[in-house]
Structure 1
């Protein structure tokens, strides 16, 4: 197994998960800033590993497997921490939508790959937009405090709601792209 720079960045993202959890539970006033910084760093490594892989042709099978796993783990843990700190029905709903879609789309991609149809459910532009909105929302929600008279947490709540709606939209887009294959499989089984 060859460890490329993008793969090392992905591994760093996984290592940052327990760091995020630890920082959130530290009994200091600055932990919200540190938690937001840790998550922001992880988000940047997500973008950077893809850019480096494309720019310098540093692809690896292990990296291709690990990258989406690291992304989903980091987002799920951040959502879990946020919902625990702010247990409202809306926060729980948005988190459930985001995590549920990630599980469903991952399963859909795996199944389509087994059929040799993985390209039909590749990452689309709407998925990339969703990721950006989601990452900014999570940084805001982890930071929590007003900044320069901006209600950061409130902005984060609205961005998370937007990310959840984009999550549904992109999930339906992937399902729509896979639908002909899903229907063909069902017809051949009957």
Structure 2
């Protein structure tokens, strides 16, 4: 069977692949304490998350590869960044209320693993498990929290005092990100439960 590579590796999927590469570089740069570079690449990677999805829907370029690649790249970027931020901010002089804690990173990673399992189960059974608005908002809150945290690490690493407004921004965005992560995860569990019950009744 001949496969049209131009349709499989279309522009949105190439953007997603670029995000994966950027995400890996972000995860390499953070423990090396190149925070400014990590921040710039993180912002670029987060921006491509909006670009590939918008382009794929607008020009009808949604593919099976894209449905897998796009969320996978998001998970590498967010989970990797949150794990490394928890490590870096724990060793830095940040107040307990103005940093990403280890347990917060665990919640983020656990939610992503759970949703991945549910998506695989539901779509494997022929159901639809597309991203919901709560999941998209969760991603935005996580990106804001991670970006603000990287900015604080960059300022601290360059010998600049971290302003109180940035610490407050981190605290608010991180807690909102955690709450939205839990809420969106619960929404997916409810949706998956409804699908399973419908399948049993059928």
Q: Could you tell me the TM-score, scaled by structure 1's length?
A: 0.84
Matches within 5 A, 1:1-190: 1=5, 2-26=8-32, 31-87=34-90, 91-117=101-127, 119=128, 121-144=129-152, 145=155, 149=163, 151-183=165-197
Q: Which runs of 5+ in 2 are unaligned?
A: 91-95
Map of 2:93 onto structure 1: none
- Asked if structure 2 preserves the Cα contact closer than 8 Å seen for 1:76 and 1:99, the reply is yes
Deviations 1:95-116 (A, max 9, x none): 1111101110111111111222
* Alignment coverage as a number of residue pairs: 183
Q: Which moved more, 1:178-187 or 1:32-41?
A: 178-187
> In the aligned structure 2, how far is the partner of 1:172 from the partner of 1:159?
20
- Please state how far the C-alpha of 1:186 moved relative to its aligned partner: 7.1
> In the aligned structure 2, how far is the partner of 1:135 from the partner of 1:86?
16
Structure 1 residues 182 and 147, CA, compared in 2 at 3 Å: closer, same or farther?
Answer: farther
Q: Could you tell me the TM-score, scaled by structure 2's length?
A: 0.80
> In the aligned structure 2, how far is the partner of 1:158 from the partner of 1:106?
27
- Asked if structure 1 preserves the Cα contact closer than 8 Å seen for 2:138 and 2:180, the reply is yes
- Please state how far the C-alpha of 1:158 moved relative to its aligned partner: 2.5
> In the aligned structure 2, how far is the partner of 1:49 from the partner of 1:12?
10
- Please state how far the C-alpha of 1:4 moved relative to its aligned partner: 1.0
Helix, strand or coil at the partner of 2:60: coil
Q: Which runs of 5+ in 1 are unaligned?
A: none
- Please state how far the C-alpha of 1:80 moved relative to its aligned partner: 1.6
> In the aligned structure 2, how far is the partner of 1:182 from the partner of 1:148?
49
- Structural RMSD (CA): 2.5
